[in-house]
């Protein structure tokens, strides 16, 4: 399967790293498991390798998420690689699995330092409502963002 034939919305690029990361969880929309596909090299908002994710729900519904989607915190950036790393778990907003998305080259305070976005699963699927964006310059996160920190390059 490629981005061109997954039926997902969006315009897949030639060098998009479709499937650079994968996760399976019940994000909502029914009892079946859902497949989350990282597309870290996706061109978004005119930015090469800004990255996106595609969610293939068990009920055959598809979504494409990136940092230019309304409600998602942050914005796409050249080489951010949003979706390079994925992790699923229950991060505390409900009974469905939630999704953490690594963007290890995201721009933070003007530096390429990396970030992690968290989106929550609901009975209707993944939502941007109350999403979070974490980086080393967020209050409560130890450290300070520096160029090439690659925060978000590994998740569990």
pLDDT for the residue numbered 2: 46
Task: Parse the chain into domains and list their residue ranges.
Answer: 3-134
**Average of pLDDT values for 97-104?**
95
Between 147 and 116, the more confident residue is 116
> Rounded distance, CA 44 to CA 11, Å?
9
Per-residue pLDDT reduced to its tens digit, 69-97: 999 999 999 999 999 999 999 998 788 99
The whole-chain average pLDDT of the chain stands at: 88
**From start to end of 26-123, where are the E strands?**
34-39, 52-56, 62-65, 85-89, 98-103, 107-108, 111-112, 115-122
User: Is there a contact between 51 and 66 (Cβ–Cβ < 8 Å)?
Assistant: yes
Compute CA 20 distance to the chain's CA centroid, rounded to the nearest angstrom. 12
**Average pLDDT of 10-22?**
73
- Residue range 92-116: mean pLDDT, rounded: 90
DSSP line for 93-105: SSSS-EEEEEETT
Percent of the chain with pLDDT over 70: 90
pTM: 0.88
Q: Is the pLDDT of residue 25 over 90?
A: yes
**Cα–Cα nearest to 35, from 95, 125, 106:** 125
């Amino acid at each position: 399967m490629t981005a061109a034939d997954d039926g997902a919305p969006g315009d897949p690029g030639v060098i998009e790293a479709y499937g650079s990361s994968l996760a399976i969880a019940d994000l909502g929309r029914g009892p079946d498991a859902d497949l989350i596909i990282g597309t870290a090299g996706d061109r978004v908002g005119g930015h090469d390798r800004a990255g996106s994710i595609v969610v293939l729900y068990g009920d055959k519904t598809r979504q494409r998420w990136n940092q230019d989607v309304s409600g998602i915190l942050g914005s796409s950036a050249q080489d951010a690689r949003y979706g390079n790393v994925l992790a699923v778990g229950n991060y505390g907003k409900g009974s469905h699995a939630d999704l953490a998305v690594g963007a290890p080259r995201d721009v933070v305070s003007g530096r390429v330092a990396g970030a992690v976005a968290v989106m929550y699963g609901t009975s209707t699927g993944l939502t941007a409502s109350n999403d979070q964006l974490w980086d080393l310059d967020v209050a409560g996160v130890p450290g300070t963002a520096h160029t090439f920190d690659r925060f978000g390059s590994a998740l569990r």
